[in-house]
Amino acid sequence: MTASAVAQVPALVLAAGRGERMRPLTDTTPKPLLQVQGRPLLQWHLQALASAGVSRVVINTAWLGEQIVAHFSHQNGLTRLPDKREQLSISYSMEGVDFGEALETAGGIARALPQLGPVFWLVAGDVFAPDFTFDAAAVQRFAASDALAHLWLVPNPAHNPRGDFGLSPQGLALNLPAD
């Protein structure tokens, strides 16, 4: 896979959830638009994707999704990010408009698949990882493999040191049960 082919790999950012644990902040603002260090959480992801060369992003929305669309409104199909020169083509999978509610993770991915390709980045829109970079070489390795998915794990925050996922001895992702 060439560098230009890697740049053609789109991303899906999951941003449809209600943000129950962040209430009352999320009663009037979708969680991906909550400010973290002076900018919306979602903007951190979009800038990291653009910096990696990704040019096309799909954002799934449900709860207060119209605010996400309005915030990242664009002309001629491109959104210029405030503190980067990169531009992104952003489209939306509007679960809230089309179904009245979020379709959960698997449903959101399935709904957005027609806007994606066989290989795409999948980003949890509610994870704050300011130093995370998208590794274009990882896309090449993944595309050449027989794997169904490649999961990046980020360091666990102090409030959840055990985390939600782990790895088996065979390197398979495990969903860790709550204590």
Average pLDDT over residues 11-36: 88
Query: What pLDDT was estimated at residue 144?
Result: 78
Give the domains, in start order, of the chain with CATH numbers.
3-152 (3.90.550.10)
- Counting beta carbons within 10 angstroms of the beta carbon of residue 123, is it exposed (0 to 12), middle (13 to 18) or buried (19 or more)? buried
Angle (nearest 5°) at CA 102 between 97 and 105: 135
Pick 62 or 145 by higher pLDDT. Answer: 62
Query: What pLDDT was estimated at residue 179?
Result: 57
Query: What pLDDT was estimated at residue 60?
Result: 92
Rounded Cα distance, 109 and 125, in Å: 13
Query: What pLDDT was estimated at residue 83?
Result: 52
Angular region, 176: left φ>0, alpha ψ -120 to 50, beta rest: beta
Average model confidence (pLDDT) across the chain: 78
Query: What pLDDT was estimated at residue 75?
Result: 47
3-state secondary structure 30-64: CHHHCEECCEEHHHHHHHHHHHCCCCEEEEEECCC
Query: What pLDDT was estimated at residue 30?
Result: 92
Average pLDDT over residues 98-123: 82
Residue with tokens 């040019």: 55
Query: What pLDDT was estimated at residue 128?
Result: 79
Average pLDDT over residues 124-144: 76
Average pLDDT over residues 24-37: 89
> In this model, does residue 11 exceed pLDDT 50?
yes
Pick 155 or 47 by higher pLDDT. Answer: 47
> In this model, does residue 84 exceed pLDDT 60?
no
